[in-house]
Structure 1
Amino acid sequence: MTADFSLRQLEYFVAVANTGSMSAAAVQCHASQAGISTAIADLERRLGVQLLVRRRARGVFLTEAGTRVLEGAQAVLSQAEELRASAQAEEGQVAGRLTIGCYATLSPFLIPPLVDGFTRLHPAVDLQFVDGSQDEVRQALLEGACDLAFLYDTGAEAGLACTTVRSNRPYVILPAGHPLAGSDALSLTELADEPLIVYGSPPMESNAERWTHSVGVKPNIRYRTSSIEAVRSLVARGFGYSMLVQRWPTDTSFEGLPLAAVAIKDPLEEVRVVVAHAANVTLTHRARALAEYACETLSLPEPPGGGTPTRGT
């Protein structure tokens, strides 16, 4: 039996479900609000169920039937996009739209080299990205808002399939004039009495507390901030020390003040960066290609002066 509804109607319905309002969906889909409303009303008529409950000035919410239809609609749109990409691609070419998510702190380290390197290899891929907190990016994966995501492995990635792309050991940053700033490595016990500046976005705060407790130190947390550059600037101004995972390409703070990075000699576990996807989703050819590219390149050392690591080296 031929379906008597259109992909455009499904697209509008998914947009309304994701944004929570007709007006927001209209902006997202570059359509009129009246057009969105008419299309969904016709879709409801053709399916024989009410999908949304409209509330004046309060947006919409899904009915029970709408919740069931939403999952199927997302799957149909995904399959249609894959069909379009396959049809448009030349033989052996990777093509189509691909959205990746990234934990916000990892974005400046991972997203630029990925976008640069992958789109050079596969110019027919329309690569988009979103970033946010670990929970926001994880939810985007589970809801189908992105195809792949780069996250820290916390051991609680329920519903996700994860592959490690990079591992880093935590290290300490100190003001350049600190007595231990010139050390090759130090123990966290040497900083036991000093104030700790914590990056307050999960999972880093819990990591910092776990690392200090593992060596018998009760952390003396002085400041928490959700800005990683604020952490580095506070340390550079002498307000305390901090522990980070990713290595900055500069030894100065946002304000241009000097910082010292010192290795930690305590046996702390490495922190893994993973590329993840929803476990119940079959990856498209382009998503698999990006995951493979990430595993090949993100573990490589960055060339002097920055840029994209050379594939296969």
Structure 2
Amino acid sequence: MQYTLRQLAYLVAVADHGSVTAAANALYTSQPGVSNAIAQLEETFGLQFFVRHHARGVSLTPAGQSFIAAARNLLHHADDLQQQAQEISQSLRGTITLGCFTTMAPILLPGLLSALRDTYPELEVNLLEGDTQQLQTALLGGQIELALLYDLGLPDTLHKLPLSGARPYVLVAADHPLAARGRVSLAELADEPLVLLDRPHSREYFLGLFRQLGLEPRVGHRTVNFELVRGLVAAHFGYALLNLQPKVDVSYDGGKLVYLEIVDDVPRLPIVLAWPQELKLTRKAEALRDSCLQLLGAALPAD
């Protein structure tokens, strides 16, 4: 556009007050600023809005009367838009879209959504599950406002709020020779088949745990499905490395599983709430962010 809402507001003020000076005083601005705004509007639209009377202010031309009526209508719509924006920004009712890394979702989201429902009963949370790349694309494309995911390969264009971290553990069948030990080193497992959770970034993280110790694991099976990893381990196809622990120790088909602590010095995998760096969070997003901090930070297992 070749004009601004401020210029239109100056124009309407002159019509209401009958002179440039009175309009400038009412708007707490300068007389030359008001005069320049009107001159720019007249040049932009090729119209004369006022007849200037020396020492007696101004009067509207027929074109000015018609144009200012339309300008008033536009300014009213602008006010409505501003009020609507404030409601969107400040309201704790309506919908917000949360992304979540696929393997985290069944473990973290039920409790989080239940607490949000109790605290903010008029807030509806829509969900989008995906891997790191899918969630990153959705965040930067505006399809979701916030995302829960691991801090693996995230770009600097995202703000990352640390919630906690999940220390890796070893998963074995309940009758595995090492199951009763409670703790195990990665060196003891290097020659056994690894059932690898083969998701982008995740696989590099799990394989890197071995490689930082100078070990190379023997991958037996690969799958992107978290529960299939657990099922294959329960069916004696090998062991697995995972981070989040379900509160059940059976696979979908009823196979018994055991969680073993890793005795090696392995890092926790950071879990973050992410959103675009340039995004100003709405009040709904702030409420969701604060709930994640309160609930998930305390709920995740410690070292």
Same fold (TM over 0.5): yes
SS at 2:250 equivalent: coil
| Deviations, residues 241-271 of structure 1 (Å, cap 9, x unaligned) | 1000001111111111101110001001111
SS at 1:231 equivalent: helix
Cα distance between partner residues in 1 of 2:155 and 2:103: 18
Contact (CA 8 Å) 1:101, 1:130: kept in 2 or not?
yes
Contact (CA 8 Å) 1:104, 1:131: kept in 2 or not?
yes
2:223 aligns with one of 212, 222, 225:
225
In the alignment, residue 222 of structure 2 is paired with which amino acid?
A: R
Cα 1:263–1:79 change in 2 (3 A) is farther
Structure 2 residue aligned with 1:175: 173
Structure 2 residue aligned with 1:194: 192
1:131 aligns with one of 129, 132, 141:
129
Structure 1 residue aligned with 2:146: 148
Structure 2 residue aligned with 1:271: 269
Detail structure 1 runs of 4+ shifted over 3 Å in the superposition: 78-87
Cα distance between partner residues in 2 of 1:294 and 1:81: 27
Gaps of 5+ in 2: 6-80
SS at 2:272 equivalent: strand
* CA drift at 1:157: 2.7
Cα distance between partner residues in 1 of 2:280 and 2:175: 53
- The aligned length equals 223
* CA drift at 1:176: 1.0
Bigger-Rg structure (1/2): 2
Percent of pairs with identical residues: 32
Cα 1:102–1:81 change in 2 (3 A) is farther
1:118 aligns with one of 116, 119, 132:
116
* CA drift at 1:126: 2.2
* CA drift at 1:114: 1.7
Gaps of 5+ in 1: 4-77, 303-313
| Deviations, residues 65-110 of structure 1 (Å, cap 9, x unaligned) | xxxxxxxxxxxxx9886434468x5xxxx22321110111111112
Structure 2 residue aligned with 1:83: 86
Cα distance between partner residues in 1 of 2:220 and 2:235: 14
Cα distance between partner residues in 1 of 2:255 and 2:143: 39
* CA drift at 1:289: 1.1
Contact (CA 8 Å) 1:161, 1:276: kept in 2 or not?
yes
1:250 aligns with one of 240, 248, 251:
248
| Deviations, residues 99-147 of structure 1 (Å, cap 9, x unaligned) | 1101111111122122111121111212111111110011100001011
In the alignment, residue 240 of structure 2 is paired with which amino acid?
A: S
